[in-house]
Amino acid sequence: MSVIRKIGIANEKGGVGKTTAAINVAACLEEAGYSVLAIDLDLQRNFTDAMLQDRVSEITKTIINVAAGECEVGEACYPIYIKFSSKVRPKRVHIDMIPAPENEDVKFFSDPLALRKAFESISDKYDYVIMDFPPERPYAEVGENGKESKFSLSSLALNACDEIITPCTTDTDSLKGFSILSKHVSIIKQLYNPTLEKMSFYISSYAGYSAEKEFLDYCETMPSYSGICIPSSGIVKGSKMIDRPLAWYNTNSKVAQAFKQLAEYIR
């Protein structure tokens, strides 16, 4: 039985805070003493750039090579270093990353379980896998024989997740993204991934205007609302500017504490 816990951060709606959550949840888990494998599924490559920074030129293998069976998982894992202050050298943390490729054409795969099987080989090496999904609907095509035959990278990743957490901004569009994904996940659960336990959403950037308060009241009536509400804060931008996640920057701020709470929620 697998001991690793694989978390997908997904919403087909763009710009809702998926990558921000992936960076900060991975860092909070590391800070709490866990080893983390961070995976970028998005060809925009924002998660990769944030974690590998000026070492992106070292990348030779990506998640695409793993999904296509062209390399072992370990061959595509890159160690992560964090610069804890401007005066000291970056320090190795217990996070490895499988990057996304840059400027690559979208690829499809024939084996829907390719990533699920690949991750079995690392189940004793990490405590958590954190996957940053792209802003797109996980795609699977049905062939003439009635069987699905063409799968996108995010579809393969959904088949490998134990849990999905969805960031939503305070608008009905991002809640709609959650609702569409939930329906897709219930099909995936039946067909390919019976171990996908839980799917829930949180509010990812809350400023507290009166209309937003009403929106939050509405969310609180929904069983799939996690109860986590991340405040909107300029500290998020500051943390990105200095390439230091909130687990190690402005740690007492409300926004850093909220990401810690999110990491505790998925633990």
Ligand X SMILES: Nc1ncnc2c1ncn2[C@@H]1O[C@H](COP(=O)(O)OP(=O)(O)OP(=O)(O)O)[C@@H](O)[C@H]1O
Q: Identify each DSSP E strand in 118-197 by its residue range.
A: 128-132, 140-142, 148-152, 163-168
Cα separation, 110 vs 129, in Å, equals 23
> Token pair for residue 196?
């996908």
Piece of 11-19, 65-73, 104-112, 181-189 that binds ligand X (CB under 6 A): 11-19
Return the amino acid letter for 16: V
Q: How far is the CB of 221 from Mg ion (least distance, A)?
A: 29
Q: Which of 50, 77, 153, 230 binds ligand X (CB under 6 A)?
A: 230
Q: How far is the CB of 29 from ligand X (least distance, A)?
A: 17
Query: Is residue 20 within the footprint of ligand X (CB under 6 A)?
Result: yes
Q: Which is nearer to ligand X, 40 or 116 (CB)?
A: 40
Stretch 123-162 residues interacting with ligand X (CB under 6 A):
135
Q: Identify each DSSP E strand in the chain by its residue range.
A: 5-9, 36-40, 78-82, 91-98, 108-109, 128-132, 140-142, 148-152, 163-168, 198-206, 225-231
Q: Which is nearer to ligand X, 97 or 118 (CB)?
A: 97
> 242, 267 in Cβ contact below 8 A?
no
**Which of 29, 125, 11, 110 has its CA nearest to residue 77?**
125
DSSP state of 101: P
> 110, 67 in Cβ contact below 8 A?
no
Stretch 37-76 residues interacting with ligand X (CB under 6 A):
42, 44, 46
Q: How far is the CB of 47 from ligand X (least distance, A)?
A: 8
Q: How far is the CB of 26 from Mg ion (least distance, A)?
A: 13
Query: Is residue 77 within the footprint of ligand X (CB under 6 A)?
Result: no
Cα separation, 22 vs 161, in Å, equals 14
Q: Which is nearer to ligand X, 100 or 160 (CB)?
A: 100
Stretch 193-212 residues interacting with ligand X (CB under 6 A):
204-205
Q: Which of 19, 159, 166, 200 binds ligand X (CB under 6 A)?
A: 19
Which parts of this chain interact with ligand X (CB under 6 A)?
Answer: 14-20, 42, 44, 46, 135, 204-205, 230, 232-233, 236-237, 240, 255
